[in-house]
Structure 1
Amino acid sequence: MLRVFMFLIGLVTSGNIAAEAKEAPLMLIEAVAAGDIPAIKAAIVRGAELEQRDDKGRTALLLATHADNLEAAKLLIAAGADVNAKDDIQDTPFLYAGAEGRNEILKAILASGKANLKDTNRFGGTALIPAADHGFPETVAILLETDIDIDHVNDLGWTALMEAVILGDGGAVQQKIVGLLVDAGARDIPDNDGLSALQHARQRGYDEIAQRIAEGVADPRPG
């Protein structure tokens, strides 16, 4: 009788463990969305599927990056979460961290050694391009310390330098970003209409930026 009782207890316990394991992935997504660090730790310990997606295809790490939750992001990265996992609109934790100036998370992702520096977003741009046009000089500086392609041209025909000019306001922040790109060796690659970043800067009256480009960037066109 005792053996039967212990067997039944074992079945119940095993069932509970299996149920918890099944719920763990969903619980991880919910825990990250709520910013609940203890729950995130518990879900990871229970073996939660790190690449579980929400209804927009976002992983727990991407959700943590959206929320700029550094502690959650570090826990997930340390557990082995994919820093290059794409959501429904082609964002990844790495690309989003770069595009939106999530600098501490970006540093943690880069420190993992797993970031795909050649990966591109839905516009065909690397992490550097939106960082430049969104006005994040520190993010640009962080990315320029890597082997990312400074002259990558996106699907619109624009480089990071081009976007810093034509999508910026010509103010102090964009001037700093242009300076960083120029000092790092960016080339003034013309857009699909044959216009250079220097020409765009002059047309817009961005005198400081135009001068910075003229003094520090070589025109890649022959002659």
Structure 2
Amino acid sequence: MAPTLSNAQVPPSAAEAQAYAGLHQAAWRGDAAKVKALIAAGADVDARDAQGRTPLQVATYARQRDTITLLAKAGAKLDVLENDRYDAVTIAAVADDPQTLSLLLSLGAKAGQTTSRYDGTALIAAAHLGHDEVVRILIRAGAPLDHVNNLHWTALIESIVLGDGGPRHQRTLVALVDAGANTQLADRQGNTPLQLAKARGYEAMVEKLKSAGAR
């Protein structure tokens, strides 16, 4: 089974944050005045820390939305991947941070990049974790519903096999099904979402899938 994506990500540690200087430090702290001054002085808005994180990604981890806006307007790249191949959109999705996610998308960030060591997407990551509001935002933004990662799982499958069958994962599955996710795409062993939900005793999911014509 895949590890939890929140553990796969590498947010700045306390020691790293303490050691930050320049634009990374200002982004982490949300120091808008310093961000503006550093940008005006020619600081590299896409500089990388030891983990390949840009100031904008650091600001995303820290939920410093004003800083994200400042950096984006200064030309910071919204869709770059850090060393573990996460972009800012996936960082916000995994953090269950719909406000920051919505901001990033409004600034032009892409909803459907292939990210992470699993060749997944932000939508798959959010479905895995049952972040139903985030899932709905990504769907509205055009995230690919049926992307298959290198575990041979879609967002729909992950909402079942890596979820707990509870209310948030149920709402996640409903959002995906209602948006038109393919209910027949199977895992590597040939198990469909309906079969996977039945095997786990997730009755609410089973009924939703059946109502959508799943087999």
1:201 maps to 2:201: no
**Out of 42, 47, 51, which is 2:42 matched to?**
47
Q: 1:84-138: per-residue Cα shift (whole Å, max 9, x none)?
A: 1111111111221223222222212212234262332221111100011112111
Does 2:94 align with 1:117? no
Cα distance, 1:170 vs. partner?
0.4
What are the Cα deviations for residues 167-203 of structure 1, in whole angstroms up to 9, with x where unaligned? 1110111111111001001112110011111111111
Which residue of structure 1 aligns with residue 11 of structure 2?
A: none
Q: Is the 8 A contact 1:125 1:155 kept in 2?
A: yes
Q: Give the C-alpha shift of residue 141 in structure 1.
A: 0.6
Whether 1:216 and 2:193 are equivalent positions in the alignment is: no
Letter in 2 for 1:172: P
The residue identity in structure 1 corresponding to 2:133 is E
Preserved CA contact (<8 Å) 1:26 1:52: no
SS of 1:191's partner is coil
Counterpart of 1:107 in structure 2 is 102
Q: Which runs of 5+ in 1 are unaligned?
A: 1-24
Match for residue 72 of structure 2?
A: 77
For 2:81, what is the secondary structure of its paired residue? Answer: coil
User: Could you tell me how far apart the structure 1 residues matched to 2:86 and 2:168 are?
Assistant: 25
With normalisation by structure 2, the TM-score equals 0.85
CA distance in 2, matches of 1:104, 1:143: 12
Select the structure of larger CA radius of gyration. 1
Cα deviation for residue 34 of structure 1 reads 2.9
Match of residue 142, structure 1, among 109, 115, 137: 137
1:186 aligns to 2:181 (yes or no):
yes
What's the offset of the Cα at 1:59?
A: 0.2
Mapped partners of 1:218, 1:80: distance in 2: 45
> What does residue range 9-88 of structure 1 map to in structure 2 within 5 Å?
26-88=21-83
TM-score by length of 1: 0.82
Structure 2 CA distance, aligned partners of 1:177 and 1:142? 11
User: Which gives a bigger RCO, structure 1 or 2 (Cα 8 Å, sep 6+)?
Assistant: 2
**Residue equivalent to 2:128:** 133
CA offset at residue 43 of structure 1?
Answer: 1.3
Aligned to 1:94: 89
Please state how far the C-alpha of 1:217 moved relative to its aligned partner: 4.7
Per the alignment, in what secondary structure is the counterpart of residue 171 of structure 2? Answer: helix
Structure 1 CA distance for aligned equivalents of residues 173 and 39 of structure 2: 42
Identical positions, percent: 37
Distance of 1:127 and 1:215 partners within structure 2: 27
Query: What is the CA–CA distance in structure 1 between the aligned matches of 2:109 and 2:199, rounded to whole Å?
Result: 41
Give the count of matched residue pairs: 195
